Structures are given as structure tokens and as C-alpha cells.
Amino acid sequence: MKDMTGKQFGKLTVISLDHKDKRQECYWLCRCECGNDKVVSGNKLRSGNTKSCGCYQEEVRGKYRITHGMTNSKLYVIWSNMKSRCYNKKNNMFYRYGGRGIEVAPEWINSFENFSMWAKESGYKEGLSIERIDIDKGYNPENCCWITKKEQYLNRSDSHMVTAFGKTQTIKEWADQNGIPYDTIERRINAYGWEPERAVSENVRGA
């Protein structure tokens, strides 16, 4: 354990060690420039995720509510789609997200302002997509980053290989070859447990 006493992180100055959790992660008692005290994990201090007792976020949020005007922005769409994948059972990707327990962090789910501030502090710019670092964990500041469309494509299941009829190729290649939507093939294999041959060849009902 490195002693962080006296170090400053944003508006917070570390006063003393407060406690350790079951995983032996250290939590530090900090004093904010506004005079309030706050206990923060060492990881959040070092990563920059926590820079004040909350007063700075409230100050920025108050101004942001008046001026952001981002309801039609790409970032707002990303935020809305993220929540839909996790909580809307009618979303065609729900089975990959909410259907297997993926959730959105409490500080994001009801506050676009919080999400937007994190996005800008984390390097968001037009054209990037949000990505979870650990695909078995939810959307939260510690588990998310911004990547290019190309990087996202390489991470998606349509770049995974599927062997059927003695031939191995990506889900996208099977979809293009047989005229079946890639989402349909992926869902058949991953959600419904179909055999590859049936998944990549059976016509979509009504087609």
C-alpha cells in the first residue's frame, strides 16, 4: 500500500486512510476545497474518476441543464441505445445485454448529464462508439471506453468464425452468402442453440 496522505486529486486532498474492503482495496478520507469530507477508493482517485465531493459535478450540471441542448446529438443516441439494450425486452439485442444481466451504472441510467460529462472527460468525439472492456460486466465508468467503428467491428460476434457444411467463415460472410440477416444467424446460434448448418441456411419466415 502506498501512502496517499497529503496528495491532491482535483479538488480533493487526502487526509488519512479510512478503511480497506474485503478485497484489500484502500479507501481514503479526503477533504474537498468546498470544506466537505468524502471517502473515496484509491483506484477512483488515481484514475481521475472522482475529483471532488460532488460539488463540482453539481456546479457543472446546473449550467449544463440550461445549455446542453443535446437531445438530438449522436451522444444522446448512444446513451439511449445503451439503456434500451439493457432494459427494453423488445430491443432485438436485449438477449445479449439485459437478457444476461448487463446493467447501466446508477449514475448514468437517469442522468444524461453525468454520462455526457464522463464521455467528454474520457476522450469522446464524433464517430467513436462506446465499448465495455469486460464484456461480462455492465456499462460503468470503470468498464467503458471509446473505440472506432473498425475496432468495434473486430470485437463484434459477426467477426467470429462459424463452421457449417465443411466450410468456415464469419457470420457476416454467411449472412451475405445466404441472404439472412447477420443478427438472425447470431441469435440462432448464441441465443437459441441452433446447429450451425440450420442457423446459416434456413430461410427467415416470410422471406
Are residues 81 and 147 part of one domain?
yes
Are residues 32 and 12 part of one domain?
yes
Cβ atoms 32, 38 nearer than 8 A: yes
Are residues 49 and 97 part of one domain?
no
Cβ atoms 51, 7 nearer than 8 A: no
Q: Is 9 helix (H, G, I), strand (E, B) or coil?
A: strand
**pLDDT of residue 97 exceeding 80:** yes
Q: Is residue 171 part of a domain?
A: yes
Which of 56-60, 108-112, 132-136 is the least confident region? 56-60
Choose one of 20, 44, 66: the last residue of a domain.
Answer: 66
Give me the pLDDT at residue 158, please: 45
Q: Which of 2-6, 15-19, 63-67 has the highest mean pLDDT?
A: 15-19
Cβ atoms 199, 190 nearer than 8 A: no
Q: Is residue 196 part of a domain?
A: yes
Are residues 145 and 82 part of one domain?
yes
Name the nearest CA neighbour of 139 among 164, 106, 91, 183. Answer: 106
Report, as an integer, the average pLDDT of 158-172: 79
Are residues 118 and 80 part of one domain?
yes
Are residues 52 and 92 part of one domain?
no
Are residues 146 and 85 part of one domain?
yes
Higher local confidence (pLDDT), 121 or 160: 121
Cβ atoms 141, 133 nearer than 8 A: no
**pLDDT of residue 159 exceeding 60:** no
Residue 66: which pLDDT band, with cuts at 50, 70 and 90? very low
Report, as an integer, the average pLDDT of 17-42: 91
Which of 65-74, 90-99, 105-114 is the least confident region? 65-74
Q: Is residue 207 part of a domain?
A: no
Structural domain for 81, as ranges: 74-151
* Count of domains for the chain: 3
Residue 30: which pLDDT band, with cuts at 50, 70 and 90? very high
Are residues 96 and 59 part of one domain?
no
Are residues 136 and 89 part of one domain?
yes
Report, as an integer, the average pLDDT of 51-79: 70
Q: Is 116 helix (H, G, I), strand (E, B) or coil?
A: helix
Name the nearest CA neighbour of 32 among 16, 49, 8, 4. Answer: 8
**Which residues make Cβ contacts (< 8 Å) with residue 108, sequence separation at least 6?**
79, 82, 114, 115, 118, 139, 140
Are residues 90 and 32 part of one domain?
no
Are residues 92 and 58 part of one domain?
no
Q: Rounded to whole angstroms, how far apart are CA atoms 118 and 112?
A: 10
Q: Is 128 helix (H, G, I), strand (E, B) or coil?
A: coil
Are residues 165 and 142 part of one domain?
no
Choose one of 113, 128, 151: the last residue of a domain.
Answer: 151
Q: Is residue 1 part of a domain?
A: no
